[in-house]
Structure 1
Amino acid sequence: MAADVLELTENRLRSALGEPGARAAVTFVGTDRIEVLRFDDPAAGVVRYATLGMSAAAMTDPLAAVADAERGPRAELVLSVRAGFAATDQVLRPLAVLAASPQVEGLVITPGASLDTGEPLWPGAPFTAVLVAEPGGLVPDLELDAPRDPVRFYPLLPMTPTEAAWKRVHGAGALHDRWLTAATDLRDPLRRSVPLG
């Protein structure tokens, strides 16, 4: 049952990130409800936003001959930003839109993928897209009973339009290398684009 998966998923988020300080629900026509939970980490000076609802159904390739609601990858999205520098709580709806994209557009989200919101992630944000990073670090995978795939929690790395365009040409690995070389603080909600010349 999808409700069972969501309960287990929320428990995993709580065990990894603590108690959510706030939550909001967004519903889009023709999709299940997506919640976004906010977790504050004052010690690290970071606020984290995690989706809840995307993992209720497996992501399926729209070209697949038969859609299987049980088998296939499951995921939630996690965005971490430095607290207190921007109105990042306005990211709730864009995050919910991204989390609904497997249902709406038939996307199968994987590490290295770019997800574009078409608008700033929050008012005044220099980012309109995110890069999907490798799961398993911040929130461990949640194993489910067979035949279900585990739920993976994908960190999202905000990208400026320039970075997103450069990544499309050169790939996620090359962009990661540029960020690393420039010692980029990917949690800085006000950061500029990394030098890409």
Structure 2
Amino acid sequence: MGDLLQLVEARLHSAFGERHSRAAVTFLGTDRIEVLRFVDGDVLRYATLGMSRQPMSDPLATVADPLRGPRAELVLSVRAGLAPVDQVLRPLAVLAASPQVEGVVVAPGASLDVGGPLWTGAPFSAVLVAEPGGLVEDLGLDEPLEPVRFFPVLPMTQNEAAWKRVHGGAALQERWLKYGTDLRDPLRASVPLSD
């Protein structure tokens, strides 16, 4: 699968330019996950590399198919210089390992939670998985492999995550749009959730 990860990394470079740095995290019983950091003006982009190594499989399936199934990587965009956001490397790797560890299939509208702040002082411990294709185009692979999709992940405050569980991810995104929420602001407050 080394070739697959090389293709994934090349697709990230074509979208974001040269990588600024990288870090690797290995969790017991899982494959190594790397997080690549790209600088785009005042925006830092963190992209996982390694989540797509294996397809995600239905946790109810009796046998996991080693070839077929959705493949994904995560991309987080955040404004630089306002908070110690580089601390997000390990939490982002934890989220990327969740299909292997917890047997979840990551898809648009899903919530992923690390159980603690994404970085010191962050008002966020969870992210909303957004639709792929906007920042990084899907990476098509030879049959029977499904394409690798690059999911933007949008940090949610605890109140937003609770509201999303009741109303859904699309409704939360509409509320963010309605109030002009800067989702890249690492210090932003929760969007108004009642009106």
Is the TM-score greater than 0.5? Answer: yes
Matches of 2:93 and 2:101, distance apart in 1: 12
Residue 191 in structure 1 maps to residue 180 in structure 2: no
Amino acid at match of 1:163: E
Structure 2 alignment gaps of length 5 or more = none
Partner Cα separation in structure 2 for residue 68 and residue 111 of structure 1? 22
Deviation at 1:66, TM superposition (A): 2.6
Q: What are the within-5 Å matches in structure 2 for residues 109-120 of structure 1?
A: 109-120=106-117
The answer for the alignment partner of 1:130 in structure 2 is 127
1:12-31 correspondence runs (5 A): 12-31=11-30
* Corresponding residue of 1:99: 96
Count of residue correspondences: 194
Distance 1:46 1:13 in 2: 15
Distance 1:101 1:172 in 2: 19
* 1:38 matched residue in structure 2: 37
Counterpart Cα distance in 1 of 2:66 and 2:192: 43
Question: Within 5 Å, which residues of 2 pair with 1:139-150?
Answer: 139-150=136-147
Pairs within 5 Å for 1:162-177: 162-177=159-174
CA distance in 1, matches of 2:138, 2:174: 25
TM-score normalized by the length of structure 1? 0.97
Amino acid at match of 2:15: A
Distance 2:51 2:111 in 1: 17
SS at 2:186 equivalent: coil
Distance 1:106 1:100 in 2: 9
Q: Deviations over 1:116-154 (max 9, x none)?
A: 010000000010100000000110000000000000000
Is the partner of 2:124 in helix, strand or coil? coil
Distance 2:45 2:66 in 1: 29
Map residues 6-17 of structure 1 onto 2, 5 A cutoff: 6-17=5-16
Give distance in 1, aligned partners of 2:108 and 2:87: 24
Using the size of structure 2 for normalisation, the TM-score is 0.98
- Where in structure 1 do 4 or more consecutive aligned residues deviate above 6 Å? none
C-alpha displacement of 1:96: 0.3
| 1:35 shift after superposition | 0.2
Offset at 1:67? Answer: 1.1
What displacement does 1:65 show? Answer: 3.0
| Amino acid in structure 2 at the alignment position of 1:6 | L
